[in-house]
Homo-oligomer: A and B are copies of this chain.
Amino acid sequence: MITDAIDHIGIAVENLDNSIDLYTNKLGFRVVHRETLPDRGIKVVFLAGSSGETTIELMEPINHDDETNTVVKFLKNRGPGLHHLAIKVSDIKQSLSELNILGIQLVDKTPRVGARGHLVAFIHPKSTIGVLIELVQVKDS
Q: Using a CB–CB distance below 8 Å, which chain A residues touch chain B?
A: 1-6, 9, 11, 13-14, 18-19, 22, 26-29, 49-56, 78-85, 87-88, 99, 102, 104, 125, 128-131, 133
Of B6, B52, B78, B131, the residue contacting A49 (CB under 8 A) is B6
Q: Which residues of chain B are near A53, meaning CB under 8 Å?
A: 52-54
Q: Are A27 and B52 in contact (CB under 8 A)?
A: no
Q: Are B6 and A81 in contact (CB under 8 A)?
A: no
Q: Are B85 and A5 in contact (CB under 8 A)?
A: no
User: A133 → chain B, closest Cβ, in Å?
Assistant: 7
Q: What are 5 A-B residue pairs whose CB atoms fall within 8 Å in the complex?
A: A9-B9, A9-B82, A19-B129, A26-B104, A53-B54
